[in-house]
């Protein structure tokens, strides 16, 4: 089996939906998942006014072969009613290689193909406290919002600080799914306003996504 037949299936859900999604995934062949706490940034003015808006999100990561991922995706989308707005987002990322698990024995190069989808995933890693600026910059270029995950850096700049008895700065990871025709504008404005080209200011990745669910153009 070619490695491009494996995918990382990603779900961004309200926490009360995660357990159900995991049960559905297991019933359709999932061998396990990783769940990360995150927060969303697509706000509703009315809900905020009423005090009902909850930013808390969970990011669910499931590695699977393409057939299993398709079956999980269809079942989860149907049972969680993800065709409706604000019921979660799902997408898959093609995997180049799988290392560190006996569940998949193949170690095969990915065949490079043109992405057939209308979307790409923009991943921006910045110092803690800068994520909202990333979101605001992206929105000015047409983004509808994103998901923020907390992390911790361990690169050369942070290592030097450790030797000086300073604590590693915490990082924030911003995930933004954008339409292909907006990706360059969004990445360029983030790059400019966050000074990404300066050492230690951050990094941006852009990767293909496949089989998206829960995304609505023009929201």
Decide: pTM greater than 0.85. no
**H/E element, 50:** helix 45-50
Q: What is the DSSP string of 163-185?
A: HTTPPPPEEEEEEEEEEHHHHHH
For 136, counting Cβ atoms within 10 Å of its Cβ (0-12 exposed, 13-18 middle, 19+ buried), the class is: middle
Quick check: helix, strand or coil at residue 33? coil
Quick check: helix, strand or coil at residue 42? coil
Q: Quick one: how far is CA 93 from the chain centroid?
A: 9
Asked if residue 125 lies in contact with residue 166, where contact means CB atoms within 8 angstroms, the answer is no
Q: What is the pLDDT of residue 77?
A: 94
Residue 157 vs residue 16, higher pLDDT: 16
pLDDT (average), residues 163-187: 78
* Average pLDDT of every residue of the chain: 78
pLDDT at residue 144 tops 90: no
pLDDT (average), residues 20-31: 92
**Which domains, ranges and CATH numbers included, belong to the chain?**
3-115 (3.30.70.120), 119-209 (3.30.70.120)
Dump pLDDT digits (tens) for 92-136.
988 765 555 445 444 434 443 444 568 889 999 888 889 999 999
Band (49; pLDDT cuts 50, 70, 90): very low
Beta strands of 66-118 (E only): which ranges? 89-94
Quick check: helix, strand or coil at residue 120? strand
Phi, psi for residue 20 in degrees, rounded to 5? -65, -40
Going by the DSSP 8-state scheme, the letter that residue 155 receives in this structure is: S
Burial code (b: 16+ CB inside 10 Å, e: under 16) for 174-186 equals: bbbbbbeebbeeb
Quick check: helix, strand or coil at residue 188? helix
Q: What is the pLDDT of residue 194?
A: 95
CA angle 124, 164, 171 (to 5 degrees): 15
Band (7; pLDDT cuts 50, 70, 90): confident
Dump pLDDT digits (tens) for 155-173.
445 444 444 444 345 788 8
Alpha carbon distance 144, 71 (integer Å): 28
Percent of the chain exceeding pLDDT 70 equals: 71
Dump pLDDT digits (tens) for 54-97.
478 889 998 888 899 999 999 999 999 998 888 899 999 887 65
Asked if residue 210 lies in contact with residue 117, where contact means CB atoms within 8 angstroms, the answer is yes
């Amino acid at each position: 089996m070619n490695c491009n037949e494996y995918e990382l299936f990603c779900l961004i859900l309200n926490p009360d939906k995660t357990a159900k999604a995991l049960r559905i995934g297991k019933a359709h062949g999932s061998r396990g998942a990783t769940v990360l706490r995150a927060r969303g940034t697509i706000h509703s003015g009315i809900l905020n006014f009423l005090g009902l808006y909850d930013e808390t999100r969970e990011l669910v990561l499931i590695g699977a072969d393409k057939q299993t991922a398709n079956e999980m995706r269809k079942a989860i989308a149907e049972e969680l009613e993800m065709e409706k707005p604000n019921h979660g987002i799902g997408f898959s990322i093609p995997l180049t290689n799988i290392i560190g698990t006996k569940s998949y024995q193949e170690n095969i190069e990915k065949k490079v193909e043109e992405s057939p989808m209308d979307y790409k995933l923009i991943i921006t890693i910045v110092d803690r406290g800068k994520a909202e600026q990333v979101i605001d910059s992206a929105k000015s270029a047409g983004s509808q919002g994103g998901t923020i995950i907390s992390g911790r850096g361990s690169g050369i700049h942070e290592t030097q600080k450790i030797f000086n008895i300073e604590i590693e700065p915490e990082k924030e990871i911003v995930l933004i799914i954008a339409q292909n025709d907006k990706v360059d504008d969004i990445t360029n404005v983030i790059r400019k306003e966050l000074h990404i080209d300066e050492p230690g200011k951050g990094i941006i990745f852009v990767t293909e996504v496949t089989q998206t669910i829960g995304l609505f153009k023009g929201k």
